[in-house]
Structure 1
Amino acid sequence: MERVTISMSDEFAVELAEFLKGYCYENRSEAVRDLARLGLEQSRIDHSMSGQCVATLTYVFNHHTRELSRRLIDTHHAHHDLQVATMHVHLDHDNCLEVAVLRGEASVVREFSKAVIAERGVKYGQVSFVPVSIEAESHTHAGRDHAHVAPHQHSHPKD
């Protein structure tokens, strides 16, 4: 087994110790290995997923940053085809949290998310992907036949 040495701040060491205790790890090596595996798996999913997806893009930004609100709105409008819904929350006098639910081709969603997160004034950003198959279909809802209505899209999570 290869041995790796890492340095961390005192505050981070305390946080890691609390994590170990809370999840019943016997030592730091086991906890760090599990956390690294989790991070690598998430990175693999986020960076290599292809095909259709739904995703949540969560970001925090300072709405006082010059022109940032306008740039974010312009970016969202330029990719209106990806947008399903957006929730905007005022965290304090300066900062806002937005959660955008997106649907489309994973590579396009990924690039859109990177562009939003990279904006000057965005303090935090994360995208989370769910692989799906998107199908246009006509069918019944609660016994009512919608066959006369144009087919509409449904996103089915992949197993």
Structure 2
Amino acid sequence: MERISISLEEGLVEQFEQYLTQRGYRNRSEAIRDLIRDRLESERVEQQRSSHCVGTLTYVYNHEERELSRRLTHAQHHHHNVAVSTLHVHLDHDNCLETVVVSGPTEQVTAFANTIIAEPGVRHGKLNVIPVDAQTLSHQHGGTEQQHSHSRPQT
């Protein structure tokens, strides 16, 4: 492992120390490594729009908003090739949280997420993706040849 040193303004160090405490980090190095990994992963996703990814789209919405639940369900069906599964949670009498597991070409996943997040009544939408190498392989299952895809996280 290589050792580096950095210089930070006092105010930034104070904020970083609060971040360490809130997140339960035992040392600065691991927190900095995680922050760097996260940023590099975001950059890789941005640069590889034509690549494949897996991830989650999480959002909160008001289920009392006129026709919103129907529009969200319609959008998921319209993008069935990237919307793999949905978890629905009732937060209170008016608000629900949904997490959609997504998989597919990054450009299509991003377009789906933008469609959902832009719906009136949807709040706090966030897409988190991990780039993967997608492969279509043939395997023997139950004595028959079957094709299906595998997603392997990029290293």
Superposition TM-score, scaled by structure 2 size: 0.72
1:156 paired with 2:152, answer yes
- Distance in 2 (CA, whole Å) between partners of 1:123 and 1:112 is 16
Instruction: Provide the secondary structure at the position in 2 that maps to 1:149.
Output: strand
- Distance in 1 (CA, whole Å) between partners of 2:125 and 2:91 is 15
Kindly state the Cα deviation for residue 44 of structure 1 after the two structures are TM-superposed. 2.8
Aligned partner of 1:44 in structure 2 is 43
- Aligned sequence identity (%): 40
1:60 paired with 2:60, answer yes
5+ long unaligned stretches in structure 1: 5-15, 27-32
- Distance in 1 (CA, whole Å) between partners of 2:17 and 2:94 is 31
The aligned amino acid for 1:126 is: K
Structure 1 contact 138–147 (Cα < 8 Å) conserved: no
Structure 2 contact 139–145 (Cα < 8 Å) conserved: no
The 5 Å alignment of 1:5-16 reads: 16=15
Over aligned residues, Cα RMSD in angstroms?
Answer: 3.5
Structure 1 contact 61–95 (Cα < 8 Å) conserved: yes
Any idea what the Cα deviations from partners look like across 1:56-96, whole Å, max 9, x if unmatched?
11111010111111111111111111121111111111111
Aligned length in residues: 143
Aligned partner of 2:77 in structure 1 is 77
The 5 Å alignment of 1:1-159 reads: 16=15, 19-20=18-19, 22=21, 41=40, 43-50=42-49, 51-139=51-139, 145-146=141-142, 148-159=144-155
- Distance in 2 (CA, whole Å) between partners of 1:81 and 1:20 is 38
